[in-house]
Amino acid sequence: MSSTSAPAAAARRTDLAHWVIRVAGAIYVLGIALLAAAVYVELPGFLSAYGDPEAWWPILVQVLAGGTAFLTWVRVNRRTNRPFAVVLLGLGILTVVALAIPSYSACPDEKLSAGWSVITRVVGLITNNYAIDQFNPETTSCDIGGVPLALQFARLAQLLVLLVAFTSAVTALLRTQVDRVRVRWSPRLSLVLGADTTSASLLPALAADAGRHTLAVVTNDPLAPWVGQARAAGWRVVVTDPRRVETMDRLLGRPGRRHALSRLAVLASDSTESQRLMTVVQTATDGRRAVPGNHPVRALIRMDEAWQAEDWRRRYLDRIPDWIVDTISENEVTARLLVDHMVERGVDQVLLAGQSDLTFAVVAELAQRGREHELDPSRPAMAGVTIVGESADQVLEEHVLSQRRFGNSRLDRVRAETRLELDEVVASAVDEYVAPALVFSGDVSVADQRLAARLGATHPGLLVYSRHAEVIGLGADPLMAQVRAFGTTLDAGTGRPVDSWERIARLVHEKYVRDYPDPDDPARRPWNELAPFYRESNVRQVLTVLGSAVAVGRSWGASGRTASPPSPEQLDEMARREHESWLTHLHRNDWTWGSTRDRQARKHPDLLPWDALSDESRDKTRKGVLETLALLETLGYRSIDDPYSTWVRFRRRGEVRAVRRNEPWTWTTSDGTVMHANAGDWEVIDDDGSTRSISPSIFERTHESVDGDRWRRTGEIRGRRARPGEVVHSLEGTQTARPGQWVLRGVEGEEWLVPAEHLETAYDRIDDPSVV
């Protein structure tokens, strides 16, 4: 494989396309000039055909040259907000005018003003009045040998103008229906659900990263203010209810029990709504195979609560390799932008004033930079952090709890300051540190903005970040001194959403290059120079290790337990899965077996089944898995044997009473948690009088009518023992697990908690009870 980077290859393709546009466009313009000139003079040699009314090839050349130039231009700008139809109409009208004027001027109407008669004829041609009577020698004195070829081509251009105008008008009137049809028949879809005004800024970045997929945004509000922005970024808008499984099944399903989904972004600002939409899509695709080229599905879920985002990333690791799920948080992205700017300025101490999710996100991002420094000492070390304010101790406690849940114990560089005023803390930091920074990370406050300006003016060497509601991201220029305005954003400014797994894969690759340098090996080039094939393989390796650990009964979730190495049996199975993943990746990129490795010819001696590999090759794969596990542990991903990770099957049993309610309502779980039901949900009452809510689509798939309000519970579910303290995001609200509870996963991927007593009375175990 070539070591050329993806941006360089894309730039070469773009340059080639621009040359095609220039050359084809020049041929078209030259042809127009020749057609116009041939009305009056006889051109030499083969060019005389441009003046022959019966010639065919000059018109064919014009059609091919003009079509090639325009279609290539459309291809280059397909992801931009260009008025393609308007441009085509303008070019068509210019062509008609440029050829009709000399054609009609050669034979003006007799006994009429020559100038006005020509103008009248040209305007008539544009409006579909193709007048050629003056070129008939039997009725007029003008005889130039027939209808000029220039006018014939002008007529063709005029018909194209009418066709484009008509189709544009029809498309504008039926745009929603046209979008639905295009999306319904596309083999590859990039789908966005839950978009709103705050997440609309992500749509251009998601479009740029979508390749050749059809871009589709699903909404039930066609008049939402962000819809125009979505269309401008190249997205087709499908107006329907994204919460209905039947709707998404029709949209995503393809013949042969396949689905067209390749990429998914769930951008709802409410985490419960994000989960609901995610489970609807997963239900619509369950039991269907991906269209070739669409596997695996890459999904991005918006999770603005920064402390929950990491939990959600790990939550979906058991869906690998069918699903690769990442999360994006408004606070995480904003924190990353701020920390990147601090790193560029060499900040060695960070003061955080204010308590909010952003405060937590900034501390978490700085802690992650510290772990990355441990892995790569060439990266900047973590700056010290002081959280200032009355609630600073609480923020620090939450940070320590979160970090320790994932096995990160080095927390000595973060401290809380509750006794001193902010002015005193700032003055001390300016005296003690070379490049201190102050971030007003609380909610937007006019008082904080004034304080930021005063401290910036008082301490010119202090870098100050002042939060403003009207600012998105980080302001380009200081407000004064070193005071910069910033606001929360989902746009990382990198051209596409930041991929957490790619961030880890890059660190793993860079360590591999440091440990085993070989500048001549295209697989060991710096990340920015790495060919897409090798980048994808690095990400694949990280995700495969994450997924295979879950498959053998290990966990990456929150736990206070110390990390443990995999058993020999677990390691062997993880290595086998890694080899199979690597084998599939190479086969998809046209690699074949060869007695020796040849990157140019795409040959490799290990392209064999696991059992056919040599002991040396299998040991090498096992070593790679262990090294990746060690690197992931340094970055905060600990793999442990997890008795709570094994899912088993249950069958519902028994009867219940159920009534569908038309208004929102609340109910209380057995542990006292208040849950929220939506209008239209079913209220289900067990024989003991306890009540709960079930969404209509789930209820219809899991209950069958007996008589009146009596319903029989049907179908199968999966369940596992809940880790005490783990958070489960059910459709009705958030639940925290208590000892002895179980996590159940339903037919649409929804999860909820139940006591062990309820499990015994309402479900029959299908799997061997000795499994757990």
Beta-carbon count within 10 A of 604 CB: 19
pLDDT tens for each residue of 123-159: 888 888 888 877 877 766 677 778 889 899 999 998 9
- Say yes or no to pLDDT of 579 above 70: yes
pLDDT, tens only, 236-290:
999 888 888 888 988 999 888 889 998 999 999 888 888 889 888 888 887 788 8
**Residue 496 amino acid letter:** R
pLDDT at 464: 95
Best CA proximity match to 166, nearest among 78, 92, 72 = 92
Compare 110 and 465 and report the one with higher pLDDT.
465
Q: Is the pLDDT confidence value at 409 over 60?
A: no
Q: Is 224 exposed, middle or buried (0-12, 13-18, 19+ CB in 10 A)?
A: middle
Q: Which residues pair with 414 in a beta bridge?
A: 385
DSSP secondary structure of 505-539:
HHHHHHHHHHHS--TT-GGGS-GGG--HHHHHHHH
Q: Hey, which of 20-34, 390-404, 496-510, 646-660 has the most confident mean pLDDT?
A: 20-34
Confidence (pLDDT) at 59: 92
Residue 730, SS3 per DSSP = strand
The pLDDT-based confidence of 14 (bands split at 50, 70, 90) is confident
State the Cα–Cα distance between residues 528 and 537, nearest whole angstrom.
Answer: 15
The mean-pLDDT minimum among 148-162, 373-387, 704-718 falls in 373-387
Task: Count CB-CB contacts under 10 A for residue 257.
Answer: 9
By DSSP bridging, strand 554-555 and strand 640-641 are: antiparallel
Give the integer Cα–Cα distance in Å for 367 and 377: 15
Band the pLDDT of 498: cuts 50, 70, 90.
Answer: low
Are β-strands 741-745 and 716-721 bridged in parallel, bridged antiparallel, or unpaired?
A: antiparallel
CA pair distance 44, 36, nearest whole angstrom: 15
Alpha-carbon 547 to chain mean position: 21
Q: Distance between CA 512 and CA 527 in Å, rounded?
A: 11
Q: Which residue has the tokens 């005193």?
A: 424
Q: What are the b/e assignments for 194-209, b being 16+ CB within 10 Å?
A: bbbebbbbbbbbbbeb
For residue 353, what pLDDT is reported? Answer: 92
For residues 448-483, b (16+ Cβ closer than 10 Å) or e, as one string? Answer: bbebbbebbeebeebbbbbbbeebbbbbeeebebbb
Q: What are the structure tokens assigned to 579, written together?
A: 């080899």
> Cα separation of 477 and 178, whole Å?
44
Tell me the whole-structure pTM to 2 decimals. 0.66
d(CA 352, CA 438): 6
> Locate tokens 């990160």: which residue?
408
Q: What is the CA radius of gyration of the chain?
A: 33
CA distance 640 to 642: 6
Alpha helices in 376-413 (DSSP H): 392-405
Rounded to the nearest 10 degrees, the angle between the axes of helix 114-126 and helix 149-173 is 40
The rounded distance, in Å, linking the Cα atoms of 99 and 42 is: 16
